[in-house]
Homo-oligomer: A and B are copies of this chain.
Amino acid sequence: MAQSARFALADWGTTRLRVWLSDAAGTVIDERRSDQGMAVCRNGGPQKFADVFESELTAMGASPDLPAVISGMAGARGGWREAAYMPTPAPVAQIADAAVIIDGVRPVAILPGVSQNEPADVMRGEEVQIAGSGLREGWICLPGTHSKWVWLESGRIVRFTTFMTGELFSLLSRQSILTASIDASRTVEKNDAHFIAGVRQMVDREIDLSAALFSIRAGGILHDADNGANAARLSGLLIGAEVAAAKAEGPIRLIADDRLGALYAAAFATVGREYEVIDAERATRQGLIAAAQKIYEGRT
């Protein structure tokens, strides 16, 4: 398989690394996933990133001269090599033009992220997913540890906002007073009534998030509320608060994996928002392939 490979592509996130090989036409012919994310690699400096990346490619049988493109945290300060942010308004199709090229074992192009000056905000990786989605106008929601809501005009990221939804869920369910009342290992189902009720409470602004959180603990003490139901309620409250705060209008394009895509879609449906789901991994691969074709083959 690796013989027909033309590009090595990677999305290097905080907690995981995903690598693909594609042929010249952009068809993916192999893939690997690793937990050697930015958080693990950063203490080893640039050499650690290089070693991890080469080790993944060797395991895939990739030729040493196969050129590579990487999006995500590898380009952050403290990553493999810093790739300065493109400021808004940022044309997503031109991200590849601002790549930083490392000439080591093979050429490795590190893609930049996008920054917004005021209110201060940053992204690394989502801009490649947006480029890969082919979208050019309107609201895009990219849920995750740090969810992004992006307003796109003529293929440019004009403004965006980050919500710490996924990280707050993790902190509150695993490390706070709420932990005793929440089963964080339980998968929240999109049609769980506690999830839906949490979404609705936040979107209708019945109660503020900061006041709603402790009621999960108190409900556990007073009413023996089920810890699985409480996990669903916390998820609904946090996603509902995000949807309410995003103040997006019109249809929303949701670039997400299956799990978060289903939850956010259920939240949008609950509050009567029009939406369309786009597979996040496919968007990432498409964005990386387009960047590789531009950088290494001069295609525009």
Bound Cα distance from A199 to B178, whole angstroms = 25
Pick from B164, B213, B221: contact of A77, CB below 8 A: B221
A64 CB-CB contact with B under 8 Å? no
What is the chain B residue whose CB lies nearest that of A78? B180
What residues of chain B lie closer than 8 Å to A129, measured between beta carbons? none
Pick from B119, B167, B225: contact of A177, CB below 8 A: B167
Evaluate contact between A208 and B241: CB separation under 8 angstroms: yes
Evaluate contact between A213 and B164: CB separation under 8 angstroms: yes
| Given A77-B221, A120-B222, A219-B120: A164 and B146 interface contact (C-beta under 8 Å) | no
Evaluate contact between A222 and B122: CB separation under 8 angstroms: yes
| Given A115-B222, A175-B175: A210 and B122 interface contact (C-beta under 8 Å) | no
A211 CB-CB contact with B under 8 Å? yes
What is the chain B residue whose CB lies nearest that of A221? B122
Contact sample, A vs B, 11 pairs, CB 8 Å cutoff: A117-B222, A119-B215, A120-B222, A122-B222, A146-B177, A164-B177, A164-B210, A167-B176, A171-B171, A171-B172, A209-B210
Bound Cα distance from A202 to B273, whole angstroms = 26
Q: How far is the CB of A6 from chain B (nearest CB, A)?
A: 34
What is the chain B residue whose CB lies nearest that of A172? B171
Count of interface residues, chain A, beta-carbon cutoff 8 Å: 44
What is the chain B residue whose CB lies nearest that of A206? B119
What residues of chain B lie closer than 8 Å to A85, measured between beta carbons? 222
Give A contacts to B, CB under 8 Å.
77, 85, 115-117, 119-122, 146, 161-165, 167-168, 171-172, 175-177, 207-215, 217-219, 221-223, 225, 238, 241-242, 244-246
What residues of chain B lie closer than 8 Å to A245, measured between beta carbons? 208, 210-211
Evaluate contact between B209 and A209: CB separation under 8 angstroms: yes
Evaluate contact between B176 and A171: CB separation under 8 angstroms: yes
Q: How far is the CB of A233 from chain B (nearest CB, A)?
A: 11
Evaluate contact between A211 and B177: CB separation under 8 angstroms: no
Evaluate contact between B146 and A214: CB separation under 8 angstroms: yes
